[in-house]
């Protein structure tokens, strides 16, 4: 700590004292040092490289339901003291808290890597870009533009709070993204996909994560969509493909089970623990402890060990996900979901990796059970209105299902519906749970954090499809 941020433990204790000088129940300091870089290849050229450092320390004071937060990027005693006094303004002289002896807090070990990507030479990253680019171009001469980007970051974090919790963590995060444009004289279509996690570069040497697979897959989607037909509008049976369709869980149910929304009675799942909220085929879990996934964390951003939280079990709502503040206010236990974007923000309850437990059906059996419907394979993103559960998803690769078989590709399918409704309409759950390795990022209260999603093949009896064909 002294090497990286030039501050001693005894100085930190003094700063926490300033933070609590007007009262408050809890105060903490979060130091962060982030190295990040991006290398971009476009039109066969390594066009630009960007590399830099951002560092800062944020101080939080919690008093009941209130949070005061302030940060500084020039870390020294004077600035930290000023930040602490700013954050303390939230509290109103309600007694004082003793600062416990600082003790190292236990953490998990979920992202062991051979070497941090940010410590590897730039050559190895350029090689990845070249491989993605050439495999996309080789796939089909209809591919006219290819852009490939490699993003990496390493965060070094130190946390100390008044309860004496103290931890350090080093969090890697890498992402290789490919975007292609295909043209055939009549139409033009684009497609994009990303591949990464809390991993080192060795991740890309596995066959299923190979740069050439990524290039080919993106080119395949762009070329397929050239011949895609307008989607039929109206309510239809939808089969969700494995992996990326987990975005549906994230939006349709995950956000509604974040305890801050539930506590403020802003969620349509508020006060429904023990009630049936989904089809009994649905068991939905948030797990921060799956090695190397984008949403996994050794310890959350306020010192709680992440765990596996069963949110819905066979259709029954079992629990919410908490940070320490919501756990205290709702008299529940903290689930290790207190997360923040950076030192610029206080932690709030956030998902880690959300997934649905696999069922018994073979995926082929699910598709062949559909007479007429839509197979939604790859997703572009989604959003939800927490209060009433209404959601939308953009589907970037989809097919018509006719008489149990995938037939024509469909373009620009949008799914719209209501979270609780859709979960009640889940009819079949496949045995093929897949976790997406894409660059899923969740936005809440202006804060963006990396998350993971997982899903087996799932059949839903009816979702409204937006399309141009009536």
Going by C-beta distance under 8 Å and a sequence separation of 6 or more, which residues neighbour residue 104? 166, 167
Q: Which is nearer to another protein, 58 or 358 (CB)?
A: 58
Q: Which residue's structure tokens are 């416990």?
A: 100
Which one of 2-10, 228-236, 298-306, 360-368 is the stretch in contact with another protein (CB under 8 A)? Answer: 228-236
Among 76, 387, 402, 405, binds another protein (CB under 8 A): 387
Could you report how far apart the first and last alpha carbons of the chain are, in Å? 63
Which one of 265-273, 275-283, 354-362, 427-435 is the stretch in contact with another protein (CB under 8 A)? Answer: 265-273
Q: Which is nearer to another protein, 177 or 298 (CB)?
A: 177
* By CB under 8 A, residue 265 contacts another protein: yes
Touching another protein, residues 95-114 (CB under 8 A): none
Rg of the chain on CA atoms, in Å: 24
- Minimum CB separation of residue 378 from another protein in Å reads 13
Instruction: Quickly count helices (H) and strands (E) in the chain.
Output: 10, 25
Identify whether the C-beta of residue 196 lies closer than 8 Å to the C-beta of residue 176.
yes
Which one of 186-194, 285-293, 350-358, 364-372 is the stretch in contact with another protein (CB under 8 A)? Answer: 186-194
Identify whether the C-beta of residue 58 lies closer than 8 Å to the C-beta of residue 67.
no
- Minimum CB separation of residue 252 from another protein in Å reads 12
- Count, residues near another protein per rule CB under 8 A: 81
* By CB under 8 A, residue 464 contacts another protein: yes
- Report CA 127 to chain centroid distance, whole Å: 27
* By CB under 8 A, residue 364 contacts another protein: no
**CB atoms near residue 179 (< 10 Å):** 18
User: Angle of helix 211-226 relative to helix 122-139, nearest 10 degrees?
Assistant: 30
- Minimum CB separation of residue 155 from another protein in Å reads 14
- Minimum CB separation of residue 406 from another protein in Å reads 21
Touching another protein, residues 297-326 (CB under 8 A): none
Nearest to 420 by CA among 279, 313, 300: 279
Among 229, 344, 424, 425, binds another protein (CB under 8 A): 344
Q: Which residue's structure tokens are 């062949």?
A: 368
Among 67, 289, 310, 406, binds another protein (CB under 8 A): 67
* By CB under 8 A, residue 266 contacts another protein: yes
Q: From its phi and psi, is residue 7 left (phi > 0), alpha (psi between -120 and 50) or beta?
A: beta
Interaction mask 188-207, another protein, x per CB under 8 A? xxx-----------------
Q: Which is nearer to another protein, 1 or 310 (CB)?
A: 1
- Minimum CB separation of residue 181 from another protein in Å reads 5
Q: Which is nearer to another protein, 401 or 463 (CB)?
A: 463
User: Angle of helix 9-19 relative to helix 77-88, nearest 10 degrees?
Assistant: 30
Touching another protein, residues 75-94 (CB under 8 A): 83, 86-87, 89-90
- Minimum CB separation of residue 440 from another protein in Å reads 13
* By CB under 8 A, residue 420 contacts another protein: no
**Which residues face 411 on adjacent strands?**
230
Touching another protein, residues 7-66 (CB under 8 A): 36, 38, 42, 44-56, 65-66
Q: Which is nearer to another protein, 296 or 342 (CB)?
A: 342
Complete DSSP assignment for 331-400? T----S-EE-SSTTS--EE--SEEEE---SB-HHHHHHT-SEEEEEEEEEEEEE-TTT-EEEEEEEEEEE
As a whole number of angstroms, the longest Cα–Cα distance in the chain is: 74
**CB atoms near residue 397 (< 10 Å):** 25
Among 118, 164, 416, 461, binds another protein (CB under 8 A): 416
Q: Which is nearer to another protein, 36 or 289 (CB)?
A: 36
Going by C-beta distance under 8 Å and a sequence separation of 6 or more, which residues neighbour residue 411? 189, 225, 228, 229, 230, 231, 398
Q: Which is nearer to another protein, 112 or 388 (CB)?
A: 388
Going by C-beta distance under 8 Å and a sequence separation of 6 or more, which residues neighbour residue 44? 133, 146
Q: Which is nearer to another protein, 3 or 123 (CB)?
A: 123
Touching another protein, residues 269-288 (CB under 8 A): none
Touching another protein, residues 123-182 (CB under 8 A): 123, 126, 144-145, 147, 179, 181
Segment (H or E) for 3: helix 2-5
Among 140, 313, 365, 390, binds another protein (CB under 8 A): 390
């Amino acid at each position: 700590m002294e090497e990286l941020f030039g501050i001693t433990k005894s100085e930190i204790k003094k700063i926490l004292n300033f933070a609590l000088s007007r009262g408050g129940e809890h105060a903490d300091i979060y130091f962060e040092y982030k190295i990040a870089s991006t290398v971009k290849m476009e039109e066969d050229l390594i066009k630009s490289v960007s590399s830099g450092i951002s560092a800062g320390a944020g101080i939080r004071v919690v008093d009941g339901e209130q949070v005061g937060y302030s940060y500084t990027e020039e870390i020294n005693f004077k600035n930290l003291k000023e930040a602490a006094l700013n954050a303390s303004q939230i509290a109103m002289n309600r007694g004082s808290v003793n600062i416990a002896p600082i003790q190292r807090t236990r953490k998990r070990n979920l992202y062991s890597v051979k070497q941090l990507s940010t410590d590897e030479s730039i050559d190895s990253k350029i090689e990845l870009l070249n491989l993605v680019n050439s495999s996309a171009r080789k796939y089909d001469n209809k591919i006219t533009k290819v852009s490939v980007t490699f993003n990496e970051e390493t965060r070094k974090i130190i946390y100390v709070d008044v309860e004496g919790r103290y931890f350090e963590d080093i969090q890697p995060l890498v992402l290789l993204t490919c975007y292609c444009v295909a043209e055939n004289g009549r139409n033009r279509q684009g497609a994009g996909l990303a591949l990464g996690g809390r991993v080192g570069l060795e991740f890309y040497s596995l066959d299923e994560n190979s740069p050439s697979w990524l290039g080919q897959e993106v080119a395949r989607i762009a070329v397929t969509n050239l011949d895609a037909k307008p989607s039929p509008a109206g309510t239809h049976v939808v089969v969700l493909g494995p992996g990326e369709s987990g975005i549906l869980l994230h939006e349709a149910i995950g956000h509604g089970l974040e305890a801050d929304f539930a506590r403020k009675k802003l969620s349509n799942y508020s006060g429904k623990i023990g009630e049936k909220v989904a089809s009994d085929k649905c068991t939905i879990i948030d797990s921060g402890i799956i090695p190397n996934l984008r949403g996994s964390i050794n310890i959350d951003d306020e010192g709680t060990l992440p765990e596996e939280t069963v949110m819905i079990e066979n259709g029954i709502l079992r629990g919410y996900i908490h940070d320490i503040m919501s756990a205290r206010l709702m008299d529940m236990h903290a689930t290790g979901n207190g997360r923040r974007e950076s030192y610029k923000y206080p932690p709030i309850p956030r998902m880690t990796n959300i997934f649905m437990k696999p069922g018994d059906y073979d995926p082929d059996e699910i598709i062949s059970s559909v007479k007429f419907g839509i197979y939604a394979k790859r997703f572009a993103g989604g959003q939800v209105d927490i209060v009433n559960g209404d959601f939308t998803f953009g589907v970037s690769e989809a097919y018509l299902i006719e008489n149990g078989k995938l037939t024509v590709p469909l373009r620009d399918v949008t799914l719209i519906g209501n979270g609780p409704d859709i979960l009640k309409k889940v009819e079949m759950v496949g045995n093929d749970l897949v976790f997406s390795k894409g660059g899923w990022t969740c936005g809440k209260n202006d804060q963006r954090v990396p998350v993971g999603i997982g899903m087996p093949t799932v059949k839903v009896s009816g979702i409204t499809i937006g399309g141009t064909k009536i």
